[in-house]
Amino acid sequence: MTETGSNRTTTVVRTKQHLRERRAAMDGTVAVVMTMGSLHEGHLMLIERARELADHVILTDFVNPLQFGPGEDFDAYPRDLEGDLAMVDGMVDLVFAPATEEMYPTLPPMVSVTAGEIATLYEGASRPGHFNGVATVVTKLLNLTTPDIAVFGRKDAQQLAIVQSLVNDLDLPVRIEPVDIQREPEGLARSSRNLFLSEEGRGHALGLSATIAAAREAAPSLSGVLRVLEQATSGTAPYSPRTAGLRFDYALALDPATLRLVAPDHRGPTLVMLAGWVDGTRLLDAAVVQTTEP
């Protein structure tokens, strides 16, 4: 297994058939990193983890139309395949970058995956259909790449929980490996959508990571964490005067096992999950804190 360094020959394939041929020729274990392109440092960490865990790494680079609702940023979503390839050259064995018609000969497909009630809550309530689109493309990409391991970031906490449930409930033969959020030096969680932010917007967006930091400080007191989240959504947080340009959609404390809101007597790991809008861009952040006191 390769440890570090840019020492692989990276092949790019655009069709399912070429992907299957290349995959069949791989000996040993395979990890997949699924992305919508516009790669950044956060994706490189997912790739690093995949390299640590498997003999071969497949990167998928596909902006999945099924997970965008009408009026969402599908057309504007940043696309830069050349830049992506330059960034991962020598780091992964294979890049699968299909055209939309290759992935979906009919759109919408006649059969798709429905992720159940968990997909209708929180992010799913604000983006109806989003997680069914994610579950469908993840299932297709798992079937196409047949990996031993699939690596996902913890920033999209609800997506990670849904992918894990997809794998458990449908008995898919793959291990899901979560990787911690990567942050920019000032704290902003790395995301392809950060490219949409103005300089001023980046300042406003820091209200998300400031909320995460305040929740961490308030732990292990659950009521302390809940107060931080309430102050964030009501715009009364004392720690970030620049949150004026950040409109929270939600700031929740969830049981990471069930993704349900924590009860007042909850003790143990607590998933703090945030979503907000800055400059018309939707941003997410998340962290797990330990709450062992009321």
Chain residues binding ligand PAF by CB under 6 A are 34-36, 64, 67, 134, 137-138, 156, 159
The answer to whether 38 and 126 are in contact (CB under 8 A) is: no
Which of 18, 43, 56, 266 is the catalytic position? 43
Annotated ligand binding at 183? The verdict is no
Annotated ligand binding at 192? The verdict is yes
95 versus 228: smaller Cβ distance to ligand PAF: 95
Annotated ligand binding at 39? The verdict is yes
CA distance 137 to 152: 14
Distance in Å, CB of 113 to ligand PAF, minimum: 12
**Any residues with CB less than 8 A from the CB of 66 and at least 6 apart, and which?**
104, 107, 108, 109, 112, 129, 132, 133, 136, 137
Annotated ligand binding at 156? The verdict is yes
Annotated ligand binding at 26? The verdict is no
84 versus 228: smaller Cβ distance to ligand PAF: 84
DSSP state of 195: G
∠ CA 92-96-101, nearest 5°, is 170
152 versus 248: smaller Cβ distance to ligand PAF: 152
The answer to whether residue 56 is catalytic is: no
CA distance 65 to 133: 8
179 versus 215: smaller Cβ distance to ligand PAF: 179
Distance in Å, CB of 130 to ligand PAF, minimum: 9
- Closest-CA residue to 28 (of 53, 59, 61): 53
CA distance 183 to 185: 6
Distance in Å, CB of 144 to ligand PAF, minimum: 13
The single residue listed with the structure tokens 């849904």 is 162
Distance in Å, CB of 67 to ligand PAF, minimum: 6
CA distance 189 to 212: 10
Annotated binding site for (R)-pantoate: 67, 159
Annotated binding site: 36-43, 67, 153-156, 159, 190-193
Annotated binding site for beta-alanine: 67
Residues with a known catalytic role: 43
